[in-house]
A and B are shown apart, each in its own frame.
Chain A
């Protein structure tokens, strides 16, 4: 299975600022997924990032708030823009793995103060 390196692992940010989260995969993948896990909640898909095209956002998520880059087949970034305390969550990236499974990054725990 693919190995994902996600960073930062955690951060504490001031409201109104932005944070960019990076995911590096050790193999080429067509699709990468970005999820949010709010405190005490399940995982919610933010967007699907395909290399060479615009990311596809789920209902309730917009590009201005969560811009995504996908410059190549092994790397993607998610930016959380103009943060507020409601953005405090764990953000995870994921890629399809072998045998139709999925591999998840270790997550970025974001606290907005």
Chain B
């Protein structure tokens, strides 16, 4: 069965620091990859997604992610975080065809200190 691993459960950093969150998945076939964010008390929002093409994907709020097929990874990055980036971040993957179910990673709680 498909699995998604996020390496860090909690990350604490200061404003203006750079952020990188790791995500690895287990499926060897065609995948679609997503990063979602959940701000405190709010519902899930899509940050970015990768389906095909350029493996470097740019999303909202200055986030980007790089798909490295050989490493089965889709790491999320932001060069300079803000206090408002405090949230929980979820990596998610689905297999092959559009509309298939999403499998989520365990999530990473990010706390940005002002």
Taking CB atoms, residues of chain A closer than 8 Å to B104 are 42-44
| B82 sits at the interface (CB 8 A) | no
| Interface residue tally for chain A (C-beta within 8 Å) | 20
| A19 surroundings in chain B (CB, below 8 A) | none
Shortest CB distance A15–B (Å): 26
Instruction: Please tell me if the beta carbons of B43 and A96 are within 8 angstroms of each other in the complex.
Output: no
Q: Is A45 an interface residue (CB 8 A)?
A: yes
When the two chains form their complex, are residues B43 and A107 in contact, meaning their CB atoms are under 8 A apart?
yes
| Also in contact, A42 and B43, with CB within 8 A (given A30-B99, A100-B98) | no
CB distance from B32 to the nearest CB of A (A): 6
Asked if A61 lies at the interface with its beta carbon under 8 angstroms from chain B, I say no
Measured between alpha carbons, how far is A32 from B75 in the docked complex, in Å?
A: 28
Residues from chain B with Cβ under 8 Å of A94 in the complex? 102
Describe B's contact surface by its main secondary structure. loop
Q: Which residues of A sit under 8 angstroms from B61, Cβ to Cβ? A: none
Q: How large is the interface on B (under 10, 10 to 19, 20 to 34, 35 or more residues)?
A: 10 to 19
Q: Are B101's CB and A33's CB within 8 A?
A: yes
B89 to chain A, nearest CB (A): 11
23 A-B pairs within 8 Å (CB atoms) are namely A31-B99, A33-B101, A33-B102, A42-B90, A42-B104, A42-B105, A42-B106, A42-B107, A43-B44, A43-B90, A43-B92, A92-B44, A94-B102, A99-B49, A100-B49, A100-B51, A101-B34, A101-B49, A102-B102, A104-B44, A105-B43, A106-B43, A107-B43
Docked complex Cα distance between A26 and B43 (Å): 19
Q: How far is the CB of A44 from chain B (nearest CB, A)?
A: 7
